[in-house]
Amino acid sequence: MHHLTRIVALPLCALVFIACGGDAEPDANGDEPSNGLTAFEEEHGIGPFTVAVTLEDPIDPEKAEMGQHVFEANCEACHMLDESFVGPELGTVLDRRSPTFVLNMIMNPEEMTRRHPVVQEMLREYPLIMPYQNISEEEALAILEYLRTVH
């Protein structure tokens, strides 16, 4: 009976080791594997925004005002602009993350938490998982516009 347990346990341990990372081989470009994320997803997050959003246009004051209202109603319970709270401070988030990353975090926090290494690292400091706030793409873009005004 003990011999059979060892025969089953060894392959199972090997599978667990491989699934948890083990010594993964670099990809064809010599880059280390990235949890199955593309280079775009590594930089800009995982979600509905699959093309990089730029901040070259002048700030739209109406959109920023809408974003402030959405932020105050949905984000302010956990995020402050000038200091860490339940979640990271967001007044300078655009210095740390791409606009597209911020949008994908707003729109897809569950998958970002589950799969993105930056968000997984943030969980060490902020142990609460950001819930989806049922924010539309238009509202997410408005929040981004608001964050530009406080940046």
Q: Is residue 42 part of a domain?
A: yes
Give pLDDT, residue 127: 85
Give pLDDT, residue 151: 80
| CATH number of the domain encompassing residue 107 | 1.10.760.10
Give pLDDT, residue 117: 97
Q: Is residue 92 part of a domain?
A: yes
Give pLDDT, residue 21: 35
Give pLDDT, residue 15: 31
Q: Is residue 18 part of a domain?
A: no
Number of domains in the chain: 1
Q: Is residue 60 part of a domain?
A: yes
The owner of tokens 């003990």 is 2
Q: Is residue 83 part of a domain?
A: yes
Q: Is residue 144 part of a domain?
A: yes
pTM to 2 decimal places: 0.77
Mean pLDDT in runs of 10 for the chain (151 residues)?
A: 39 32 40 75 97 96 98 95 94 97 98 96 92 96 97 80
Q: Is residue 129 part of a domain?
A: yes
Q: Is residue 3 part of a domain?
A: no
Which domain, by its residues, includes 87? 37-150
